[in-house]
Amino acid sequence: MSDRPSPRASAIVLTGLMHLLPHHLLGRLAHWVTRCEWPPVKDWLIRKAVARFHVDLSQAAESDPTAYANFNAFFTRTLRPGARPIADAPQAICCPSDGEISQIGSLSEGMLVQAKAWDYSLRDLLGGDSALADELAEGSYATIYLSPRDYHRVHMPVSGTLQRMIHVPGRVFSVSPATVRQVPKLFARNERVISLFDTAHGPLALVLVGAMLVSSMETVWSGQVTPPRGRKVSRGDWSRRGITLQRGQEMGRFNMGSTVILLLPPGAVSALEELGPGDVVLMGQKLGRLR
């Protein structure tokens, strides 16, 4: 009989250790390392990432790994034209990012499924905003996990006009599938940036969830949102700025891998594609159809 711990036991041990780690200190260190422009360091990091995570640079606008100014520039790389076609059906809901489906479906009594036997409340995810949670309760959602090999820019699933942005400080646990199965209410505990849009079908929210070593999240209208680390929930009113983004247009990015949660209101979705946990998706592909 092998003395090697089971994958589940290993995941439990690693998750326990994560509770003890200085999450934000590690994030600041990652922020510094990933922006180092010294070729021996940044080229080594990029080569290691390409090999370890099987990154397909043939789809990138810049396919030469040594041409990037630093590791973060490589990580947030743009893609060549046509690499991610946008679903062209008029009522299509487009996938906002590359990644793997963690969960997709309908909210029930304001609750989202995190993993088998784990759920969490929409109100907690939205930083305690009860009014917004009420608007989106009983609606539809999709949770998408971005791995280190994925394209890390987030795009609009439908066209909309920005109304508010909410920054919720918190922990930065890993959001790997193994950790998601072990840490209760993880997405409502990690630091996150919530962008609320007004669309022809009602309110739409995109939640960018930070994760361990994710030292920065950005939006196209405000630039870098985090760091610096905040201690209180901050709410910004952008409704008078006239910021309208079309379906498929970039709205933000992660500077390391993480998770995107798309929230749509009740009655907005006619049908969702037959996707489930573990299914790989690409930015721009059809997730469902609007009414």
Active site residues: 98, 155, 258
CA angle 141-195-75, nearest 5°?
90
> For residue 179, what are its two tokens?
């950790």
Q: How far apart are alpha carbons 35 and 243 in whole angstroms?
A: 29
**Phi first, then psi: what are they for 122, rounded to 5°?**
-60, -40
Number of Cβ within a 10 Å radius of residue 196? 24
Name the 3-class secondary structure at 80. Answer: coil
User: What is the identity of the amino acid at 85?
Assistant: P
Number of Cβ within a 10 Å radius of residue 44? 12
Q: How far apart are alpha carbons 280 and 256 in whole angstroms?
A: 18
Q: Taking a C-beta distance cutoff of 8 angstroms, is the pair 238, 199 a contact?
A: no
Tell me the helices (H) and strands (E) count for the chain, helix number first: 7, 18
CA angle 13-14-15, nearest 5°?
90
Number of Cβ within a 10 Å radius of residue 247? 19
> For residue 152, what are its two tokens?
């890390």
> For residue 92, what are its two tokens?
């299509």
